[in-house]
Structure 1
Amino acid sequence: MLRILLVFSFLLSSLSYSQTKLNLIPYPQKVELQKGEFALNNQTVVKGDEKSFEYQFFLKSLNKINGLDLSKNDIKSGVNVIFLNIKKDSTKDYEIQITTDFISITGKDNEGLFHGVQTLLQLIQTSKASKLPSLKIEDEAKFAWRGMHLDVSRHFFTVYEVKQYIDYLAMYKLNTFHWHLTDDQGWRIEIKKYPKLTQIGSKRKKSMIGAYVDNTFDGKPYGPYFYTQEEIKDVVKYAQERHITVVPEIEMPGHALAALSAYPELACTKEPFEPATKWGVFDDVFCPKDETFTFLENVLDEVIQLFPSQYIHIGGDECPKTRWKDCAHCQDLIKKNNLKDEHGLQSYFIQRIEKYVNSKGRKIIGWDEILEGGLAPNAAVMSWTGIKGGIEAAKTNHFAVMTPGAYCYFDHYQGDPQTEPNAFGGFTPLDKVYSYNPIPSELNEEKSKYILGVQANLWTEYILDFKQVQYMIFPRLMALSEVGWGTSDPDHYKDFENRVVEHFKILDQMKINYAKSIYNINGKVIPRVGGISYRLSTSQKPEGIRFTTDGSVPTANSQTYDVAIPVSNTMTIKSAYFEDGLKSAVSTQDFTISKTSGKNVILEHQPSENYSFGGAFMLVDGILGNVKQLGKTWLGFQGKDVVATIDFGEKTNFSEVYFNTLDNKGSWIHLAKSAKVSVSDDGKIFKTIKEIGKQEIYSAKGKIHLKVGNQNSKFIKITIENAGVISAGNPGADSKAWLFVDEIGVN
C-alpha cells in the first residue's frame, strides 16, 4: 500500500511539474518538461561555429545578463555543455533539449538557431539561480510576416535608437521592420540624385503639440534630420544579422508635401510648398505626369540598392483627389486611358509604379487604399482600416498583412487615457492586442494562405522621444509576438499577463521605459436591472482595490472593492490599487445618469472597428465623451449614419434628448448634417417628434440638447446623419467623413 501511495505521489508531482508554464514569450508550439535541471555556471562550455553571428551573440548576451564569460572555456568532459547546431533537414524552426548534463539548440538554419538562442536567453533570465529545467522544445512560427513599423517622419530617431528598436523585435522573434521614411512632415532618407529632398524636405518650421483639437504649436524649427545612405546600410546589416527584414516605405501618391517642398514641379499646381507642421492629410499630392514617374523611379532605384527586401512599401493611403479633379493633365489622362474616375487614376499610378518595381525583381506592398480602382496585379496589401482590405486581397489571390487599427495601432492609448501620456486616440489595451486573430473568419482554408501575417504600427505624431517609443510598444509588442507566432490563447489571457509581469524584470534590467497600465484599475460599465454598475478589476489581487464615490482621492482606508458598484445617480468614482504602502495611478470616472442609462440599445449601422470599444452599449453607459480621448468614450462611424433605437422597457415620460458629436476636420471628423428624434410604443411604427439641421448643429458646436415637449413612450429612435463625402478644401476631400457620437441621454 505504501509503495502504491509513493508511486501515486510521484505521478502527481510529475504531473504538476509538467503543467508548469515557462515564462517564455512567444510561447513555443510544443514544450515537454522533464525531471532534473541544468546548472549554468562559469564552467559551462559553449560548442558551435565560433565564427557565426549566433554563437558570438549568445556569448555576449549571456555576459550582459549574468556576467558569465564562457568564451575561453574548453570541453573537458561531456558535462555542462551548450551545443549550438544547424540541421538543415530539420522539420522545425528550432529544437531545444535540456538535460542535467547538456543543452542542445538545433536550428534548421541560422535564423532558426537564432530563435532558439533567444528562447534559451529568456529561460536564463526568468529562471532562479541559473538553474534551467530539463525539457524538450519543438518550435516554429505560424506566420511568415511578424512585423513592427516605426514612423520617423513625424518625429525622428537616431541610428542608435533604431538599432535598439530592432533589438526589441529580435528579442520577441519578430522578423520584419517596416521603416516609414517619408511623409508630409519630413523626408528622412538621403537620395543622391535629388539632394534637395534632405536639404529642404528633412526640416519643418515648427511642430504641432498637444491634442489635435488644441491646434497649438511649439514654434521650434525641427530638423534637418535624415539618414545618410551609409547609415541606412549600417541599419540594414544590423537587422540582417538578427534575421530581420527591413521594408522601406516611400509614400506615394499622397503624403508627399516634404517631397513637393523640394521639387514643387511634381505637383498639380505651381505654388510653393513646405513640409507640414500639422498632422493629418493634405490635398497636395504627386501629379501623375511623366516627370513625376521619372523622379519616383530614380528614387526607387536608390532605395532598392539600399534595401534587399522582397517588398518595397509604396504607401498609397489617404490620397485626396482634390488636385487631380482640377488638373487638366489628370483629367486628360483619365480620358486617354479610359479610366472610370480619380480612383481609377490612383490605380493607374500604383500599377505603373508596380511594373517598374517588378522590373527590378521586387514586389510592392501598400496600405489597403491601393485597392481603390483595382489592385495592381502582383501587389500585396497591408490592411489597416480594418480587415476588409485583407479579405478582399486574399479572395483575389493577393497576399496581405493584417494590421487593423483596432488591434495593431500602438499609437493608441493602452490604459486609462487620464493617466497616460498624450496619444493619437483610440483605445488598444494589452488584452485586446492579445485577442487578435490575423486569419479572418470570412476566409476558407485555401484563401487563408494569402494572409502573410500580422504587424503593429507606431505612428509618432505624439511621440516626442525614444523613451515614449518604448512606453508605447511595451508590453503590447509581447502580445503581438505571440499572436504572430501562433500560440496566443485569449481564453488564457491571465496566464499570458503573468508571463508579461515576469518579463518586466527583463525590461527593468535593460532600463526600458515600459507602460505599467495593467497594474492600474480597469473600469467597465455593465448593465443591471434598472440601470448600470461599474465593475473594477486589476492584474493584481482584487482585495487591494479602494474606491470613493464622492470624487475624493482614494486612500488605503477607503472602501474596499468587492462587487460592481451600482451607479444610480450622477457621480464621480475614483479608484486605485494599494499594496505594501504602494499606490497605483488613480482612475477617475464621471457618470451622468439619465433615463436611457443601462437600457437596451440597437444600432442599425455598426461603428468602425477602430472606434467601437464597448459597442452600442457605450451610447447608454452614462459616460460623456472626452474630445481628447476618441477611443474609449466615443463611437466612430465612417460614412455611416447613427440610427440608435433605445428600449426603455416600459412607457417613460421625458421632455429632453441630448448627445454630442465631434468637429475635428483635420482628422476627417465632421459634425452631423442633421438629427431626428422619433418615438414608438411597439418598436415598429415611429413618429418623428423633433428634427434639426446642419445650421442648428453647427451653432451648438455639436453639443445637442433638444427640447421635445412632454413625451411618453416605450421606444425612442435617434437618427444622426453623417456629413457624407468630405467637400473640396477640407482634409480628406472626396473621402467618407467620420461621425463621432457619445452618450445619448434622455431626461
Structure 2
Amino acid sequence: MRRFLIMFSALFSTVFHAQKKPDLIPYPQSVIMQEGRFVIPETLILNDQLPKEETEYFKKRLGSRIKFQSSSKTEKVHVMYMPVPQPKIPIDPEGDKESYFIDISPKRIFISSNTRQGYFLALQTLIQLFEEHREDGEIPAMEIQDQPKFAWRGMHLDVSRHFFNVDEVKQYIDYLAMYKLNTFHWHLTDDQGWRIEIKKYPKLTQIGSKRKESMTGAYVDNTFDGKPYGPYFYTQEQIKEVVKYAGQRHITVVPEIEMPGHALAALSAYPGLACTKGPFESATKWGVFDDVFCPKEETFTFLENVLDEVIALFPSQYIHIGGDECPKTRWKECAHCQELIKKNNLKDEHGLQSYFIHRIEKYVNSKGRKIIGWDEILEGGLAPNAAVMSWTGVNGGIEAAKSGHFAVMTPGAYCYFDHYQGDPQSEPNAFGGFTPLDKVYSYNPIPAELNAEQSKYILGVQANLWTEYIPDFKQVEYMIFPRLMALSEVGWGTADPKNYKEFENRVIGQFKVLDRMKVNYAKSIYNISGKVLPAGNGIAYELTVSQNPEGIRYTTDGTEPSMDSQVYQGPIAVSKSLTVKSAYFEDGKLKSAVSSQEFTISKTTGKKITLEQQPSENYSFGGAFTLVDGITGNTRQLGKTWLGFQGKDVVATIDLGQKTSFSEVYFNTLENKGSWIHLAKSAQIFVSDDNKNFKIIKEIGKDEIQNAKGKIKLNVGNQNSKYIKIKIENAGIIPAGNPGADSKAWLFVDEIGIN
C-alpha cells in the first residue's frame, strides 16, 4: 500500500475523555476509539511529500482558522514512515482505490492510502473531525479503516428546467465531495432547454437554450410567469472547466443527452429531425410531449455528431442517453417509422425504441465508451453493453442485473430529491411524492430478488434532482440537504436503519458545518411529524420530533399553539372532525414551524381496509390506511396524503366492524394530465355482510366523474351492512393527444368515507 502521511506537531494530552461516536457522515466501516486526544495546534505541520492538489484542498477547507507549514525535517514531523497497518476489516480489491486508513494519536495523525483518491476521501473524514471539534480543540484518538461498498455514488442535477451557472455547479460538486460521492450526473438537455454548446449545430443554443415563459405554481393551476427564460447554456470551455474541477475532487461527470424523447428544445432548433413538420418551441410546461426524434438517417447523423463533441469534452466511461418517457404517438403516425418497423422485422414501436438505442450504443461503443440510460431502454430488448439507471422502481435494475447488465439504482420512492421531505403543508412547493430523510436512509440498493452473483451487477446508488420547482440555487441546497447525507451513507454501505436516531443526531452535528458555510438546508427534521394510527374504533394522531417530545405543544380548537397550550403526552384521540395544530418549543421559544392537520371523520375512519392491488411505491405513504385516516388530500400537493396507482384499478374493501347504516359514499380522485394523472373511468359501490357475497348498490361512469371534477359524493339510499367495497377503474392507456400517450395512466385516490 502506498502511504500518504499527514503529521502534525501537537501538544500531548494525557487526559482520557469519555468517547462518543464521532459525527462522521458517511460513517466509516471501522472506527476504533483510543485513549487520549489530539490537541489541535495553531499551526499544523504537514509532510512536504503529500499530493499537492488534494492537500491544497484540505488547507482551503480549514485555512480560515488554522495556519499550515510544510516540513521534511524529522525533528518537526517526528515520524517519516509508518508500516501499513494490518487490516481489521476485509479489503475489497475492486474498491481498494478508494480505501484509506487514519491513525489519530495524541501526538500526530497518519493517513495511508493506495491512491490519491483514497487520500482525498481520508481528508474529507479528517475535515469533518476538525470541524466537529473546532470548539473544544481536541480530536479523540482513534483508528479508522474505511472503503465504500458501492463504486457508483451519484447525484444528478437537472439544468434544463432551471439553469445554474458554473460557480453554482462547482458548489454542487463541492457538496458531493464533502460527503464522499464520486459521480455527478449532469442533465444537460430536455424539452425545456438545451444547455451545452455544440459547435457543429449552433442553433441548439441560439434557439434551444431559451423559452418564452415558464410554468409556475402547482401543475393543476396551469399558470405561467410570462417572462422569457434564457438563453442559458454552457460553452465548451465552461464544460471543460467544470469537468477539470470535478476531477480535482475525484468526481466523474456523466453527461446526459436525452433521446429519443424529451427533445423539444432540439427540435425547435432543427425541426427536420422530427416526424412532423413543426414548427416547434422549447416547452414552457413541465411534463412529457409527443414530439420526439424521428429515427431517420438525418437524425442519427445529427446525434452522432453531437455525441462526438460530447465525448471529446467528458472523459467518463459512461455517456447517459436518457431513453425515458418517449411517447410513441408520432412514430405510430409516421410512414417512415412504420416502414422501418417492417424493414427490420420489429414487433412494434417499442421495438423501434430498442432499434434506436442499439444504433446509438453501437456508435458510442465505437468511440470506446458505454451508454447508460433510464430503465425504459429495456423496452424491446436491452442493447448489448448498456447499463440501466433504474428510476421507475427497482424492477429495471433487477431485470438488468439478472441478464448480466450493470445497473445504478435510483428509484423515485427513495432517491428523488424533488419530492417533499417534510409535511407538504409546511414545505415549499415540490413536484410531488414524500421522501423524508428516514426513508432515504432506509434504502438498500441491493434488491432482495438478486442472488450474490447477480448483485455484483449493481454498480451503486444515485439521487436525482429535477428542477421544475427549483428556480434558484438556494432551493437546490434546500432540497438536497440533509437528504444527501443519507444517500452518502447508503452508498458507502454503512447505513443502519435500525439506528436511524443515531444517524439523525450525526446529521444535526453536521448542521453546524452547513451553518458556517451559509448553506440553505431544510430543517424539516426539527418540525413535528404527524402519523395517524388506528385506535380502538377510531384513530389517534401521533406526533414526533427529533428533539425532546416534552417540548411539543398542541391545540385542537384551531388556535395557534403556545407554551400555554396542551403538553403532548402521547397520541391524541380524534373522535370528531377537528384541526390539530402543533409546534415545538425550547426554552420558552418557538423552534419549529407550526404544523396543522385537519381531520374529517366519517363512519369508515380508522376501520380495517384492504386493497386488492398495492399502490406505486412512490405514492404509497401509509398504505391502504391512508384512505381511511380522516385526512383529505391537497390537490396541489401530491405528497403523503394520496395513494397513486399506475395502470391499476383501486379495489378497496372496508370492514366496518358491525352492521352500519349509511346513505352517502364519498371519495376523491385527481386529474393532472401533464403528470399522466387521469380521472377514473368508472366507479362501483358494493356491500356485504359476510365479505364474500357482495351486491352492487351504485355505479357511475366517466361523465359523472368528470362533472364532479373527481370529488365524488354519491347518494346510495338507506344501507345497513358490515362491509363496503369500492372499485375505482383506472383510465387505462393514455389516449393520443395527451402527455404520455400510449403509456399507463396514473390514478390517484384519497379519503373514502360514508355518512
Scaled by the length of structure 2, the TM-score of the pair is 0.95
The CA distance in 1 between the partners of 2:663 and 2:155, in whole Å, is 52
**Amino acid corresponding to residue 95 of structure 1 in structure 2:** F
Maintained 8 Å contact 1:39/1:80: no
The counterpart of 1:637, out of the listed 635, 642, 645, is 645
Structure 1 pair 305–87 and aligned structure 2 pair: CA distance change class (3 A): farther
Deviations 1:661-684 (A, max 9, x none): 001101000000000000111111
Deviations 1:588-610 (A, max 9, x none): 00101011111111100100010
**Amino acid corresponding to residue 365 of structure 1 in structure 2:** I
Report the 3-state secondary structure (helix = DSSP H, G, I; strand = E; otherwise coil) of the residue aligned with 1:343.
helix
Aligned counterpart, 2:12: none
Structure 1 pair 557–80 and aligned structure 2 pair: CA distance change class (3 A): farther
Match runs of 1:161-176 below 5 Å: 161-176=168-183
The CA distance in 2 between the partners of 1:145 and 1:309, in whole Å, is 12
Report the 3-state secondary structure (helix = DSSP H, G, I; strand = E; otherwise coil) of the residue aligned with 1:729.
coil
Aligned counterpart, 2:623: 615
Q: Does 1:459 align with 2:457?
A: no
Structure 1 pair 78–260 and aligned structure 2 pair: CA distance change class (3 A): same
Structure 1 pair 85–575 and aligned structure 2 pair: CA distance change class (3 A): farther
The CA distance in 1 between the partners of 2:581 and 2:614, in whole Å, is 31
* Superposed displacement of residue 73, structure 1: 5.7
**Amino acid corresponding to residue 128 of structure 2 in structure 1:** Q
Match runs of 1:686-701 below 5 Å: 686-701=694-709
Aligned counterpart, 2:479: 472
* Superposed displacement of residue 249, structure 1: 0.2
Deviations 1:61-112 (A, max 9, x none): 2203xx2121356646266789999999986500000111110011120100
Report the 3-state secondary structure (helix = DSSP H, G, I; strand = E; otherwise coil) of the residue aligned with 1:100.
coil
The counterpart of 1:515, out of the listed 499, 510, 522, is 522
Aligned counterpart, 2:334: 327
Report the 3-state secondary structure (helix = DSSP H, G, I; strand = E; otherwise coil) of the residue aligned with 1:500.
helix
Report the 3-state secondary structure (helix = DSSP H, G, I; strand = E; otherwise coil) of the residue aligned with 2:75.
coil
Aligned counterpart, 2:132: 126
* Superposed displacement of residue 556, structure 1: 1.1
Aligned counterpart, 2:377: 370
Q: Does 1:685 align with 2:693?
A: yes
Task: Extract unaligned runs of 5+ from structure 1.
Answer: 1-12
Maintained 8 Å contact 2:43/2:69: no
Q: Does 1:71 align with 2:69?
A: yes
Structure 1 pair 572–81 and aligned structure 2 pair: CA distance change class (3 A): farther
The CA distance in 2 between the partners of 1:53 and 1:518, in whole Å, is 36
Q: Does 1:498 align with 2:496?
A: no
Aligned counterpart, 1:53: 53
**Amino acid corresponding to residue 197 of structure 1 in structure 2:** L
Report the 3-state secondary structure (helix = DSSP H, G, I; strand = E; otherwise coil) of the residue aligned with 1:426.
strand
Report the 3-state secondary structure (helix = DSSP H, G, I; strand = E; otherwise coil) of the residue aligned with 2:712.
strand
The counterpart of 1:657, out of the listed 629, 653, 665, is 665
The CA distance in 1 between the partners of 2:317 and 2:668, in whole Å, is 47
Match runs of 1:15-414 below 5 Å: 17=18, 20-50=20-50, 52-64=52-64, 67-72=65-70, 75=73, 77=75, 93-127=99-133, 128-414=135-421
**Amino acid corresponding to residue 111 of structure 1 in structure 2:** Q
Structure 1 pair 113–265 and aligned structure 2 pair: CA distance change class (3 A): same
Maintained 8 Å contact 1:197/1:258: yes
Maintained 8 Å contact 1:639/1:739: yes
* Superposed displacement of residue 40, structure 1: 1.7
**Amino acid corresponding to residue 38 of structure 1 in structure 2:** F
Task: Extract unaligned runs of 5+ from structure 2.
Answer: 1-14
Maintained 8 Å contact 1:180/1:249: yes
Deviations 1:565-620 (A, max 9, x none): 00100110000001124311000001010111111111001000100011010000
Maintained 8 Å contact 1:600/1:648: yes
The CA distance in 2 between the partners of 1:410 and 1:312, in whole Å, is 22
Maintained 8 Å contact 2:44/2:66: no
* Superposed displacement of residue 60, structure 1: 2.0
**Number of equivalenced pairs:** 731
Maintained 8 Å contact 1:151/1:459: yes
Q: Does 1:708 align with 2:706?
A: no
* Stretches (4+) displaced over 2 A: 48-52, 71-92
Maintained 8 Å contact 1:149/1:455: yes
Report the 3-state secondary structure (helix = DSSP H, G, I; strand = E; otherwise coil) of the residue aligned with 2:640.
helix
The counterpart of 2:737, out of the listed 704, 729, 737, is 729
Aligned counterpart, 1:599: 607
* Superposed displacement of residue 55, structure 1: 1.7
Deviations 1:329-374 (A, max 9, x none): 0000000011111011001000110000011010000001111111
* Superposed displacement of residue 417, structure 1: 1.1
The CA distance in 1 between the partners of 2:718 and 2:386, in whole Å, is 59
The CA distance in 1 between the partners of 2:665 and 2:82, in whole Å, is 70
The CA distance in 1 between the partners of 2:179 and 2:338, in whole Å, is 49
Report the 3-state secondary structure (helix = DSSP H, G, I; strand = E; otherwise coil) of the residue aligned with 1:630.
coil
Deviations 1:366-403 (A, max 9, x none): 00111111111111110111111111111111111010
The CA distance in 2 between the partners of 1:475 and 1:286, in whole Å, is 38
Maintained 8 Å contact 2:43/2:66: no
Aligned counterpart, 2:10: none
Aligned counterpart, 2:6: none
The CA distance in 2 between the partners of 1:307 and 1:110, in whole Å, is 21
Deviations 1:519-552 (A, max 9, x none): 0000000001010000000001000000000111
Maintained 8 Å contact 1:401/1:454: yes
Structure 1 pair 522–84 and aligned structure 2 pair: CA distance change class (3 A): farther
**Amino acid corresponding to residue 94 of structure 1 in structure 2:** Y
**Amino acid corresponding to residue 714 of structure 1 in structure 2:** K
Larger CA deviation: 39-48 vs 618-627:
39-48
**Amino acid corresponding to residue 110 of structure 1 in structure 2:** R
Maintained 8 Å contact 1:185/1:204: yes
Identity of aligned residues (%): 74
**Amino acid corresponding to residue 693 of structure 1 in structure 2:** G
The CA distance in 2 between the partners of 1:441 and 1:82, in whole Å, is 48
The CA distance in 1 between the partners of 2:175 and 2:540, in whole Å, is 40
Maintained 8 Å contact 2:669/2:750: yes
Deviations 1:396-453 (A, max 9, x none): 1111101011110000111111111111111110001001111111111111111111
Aligned counterpart, 1:553: 560
The CA distance in 1 between the partners of 2:84 and 2:317, in whole Å, is 25
